[in-house]
Amino acid sequence: MPDSNNSATIELALDLISRASVTPEDAGCQQTMISRLQALGFNAEQLRFEEVDNLWARRGNTGPLFTFAGHTDVVPTGPLEQWDSAPFKPEIRDGILYGRGAADMKGSLAAFITACERFVAKHPDHKGSIALLITSDEEGPSINGTVKVVQHLEARDEKIDWCLVGEPSSTNKVGDVIKNGRRGSLGARLVVQGIQGHVAYPHLAENPIHQLAPVLAELAAEEWDQGNEFFPATTFQVSNINSGTGATNVIPGEAEVIFNFRFSTELTADILQQRVEAILNKHPLKYTLDWTLSGQPFLTAEGELVSAACEAIQELTGYSSELSTAGGTSDGRFIAPTGAQVLELGPVNATIHKVNECVSTEDLDTLSVIYERIMEKLLT
């Protein structure tokens, strides 16, 4: 039952978290949001691509266009017995809201809605337009979600000027960190071919693991760049190595390695691919190499959106925000290439994807007010 002591933001967050929307399920979250937005005069378009539900809701027909972007899907819960309370039966204990998606990112979604409700009530004739771009495919393949909605908008020349992504950006307290860019993500699958044989007769075989080891050592030791004032240095990490039959007396016939680069704006994906292949070709390998570019790096170094967010946080909390590009990728990578100013601002990220995911209720209320103040600075 609703608690009369809870704010509108917390009540909506409780509702959204109670819906088991594991990727690509939306579980009715977007419909709940639509009902609130339509009451404010938003025009809601439900855009379903394959198994993914997406929402584009807009209030106003003129520019500039300010957009909140987020996702209703959550990652799986992990072992239920390790949770102190059921992940889809949210609980508030000592001012902390527990449940899957509390921080990533149903708390932000609730703050989007309540910020819009207060803002529209105070400024029914605001400048420009407000929109929400919501998907149920951010935590998964990200094939039929935000990227498809952006393509849909681009096809009709509907341009986002400012986009605030509600990803949990904060480190210790809400708003202490704003992500004003993200590194690119480039993955690869390398398969080195050898010749299978008996370990007692290595001269009749070719061990691909032995061939691969010095290559990996060289790749791991390589300095790819030194980063810049906005980005840390590019990193190379091996995430999987697979080889062998399971038997102790068989030299394997091939070895597979999965690796990933998180790269800065100092490099391009093409340059990274060329440098990796140059290293591989220095060694006597028979190999295949398949690349997957998950996202280009993007950066909003300055502009009205960053200024509005930093000023709002300073005014409402009394402390300054750090601009950062650290961390993983987000759907901002699909929006920034359209020319939009993009930043990520959300709650503390300490428990995201973990058992007992949680967020401070006070932080969510503060976040909603920050979102409202940002709209006031941009659209009034």
Q: Is 15 a catalytic residue?
A: no
Residues 321 and 313: beta-carbon distance below 8 Å = yes
Question: Using CA atoms, how far apart are residues 99 and 84, in angstroms rounded to an integer?
Answer: 10
* Active-site entry in 26, 53, 117, 138: 138
CA dist list (Å): 48 to 55, 148, 166, 185, 329: 8, 9, 21, 26, 23
Q: Using only the alpha carbons of the chain, give its radius of gyration.
A: 24
User: Catalytic one among 26, 53, 73, 139?
Assistant: 73
- Backbone φ and ψ of 25, nearest 5°: -75, 140
- 218 catalytic? Reply is no
Q: Are 257 and 289 in contact (CB under 8 A)?
A: no
Give long-range contacts, CB 8 A cutoff, 24+ apart: 192-196.
192/254, 192/255, 192/256, 192/257, 192/285, 192/286, 192/287, 193/253, 193/254, 193/286, 193/287, 193/288, 194/251, 194/252, 194/253, 194/254, 194/255, 194/286, 195/251, 195/253, 196/250, 196/251, 196/252, 196/253
Catalytically active residues, by annotation? 73, 138
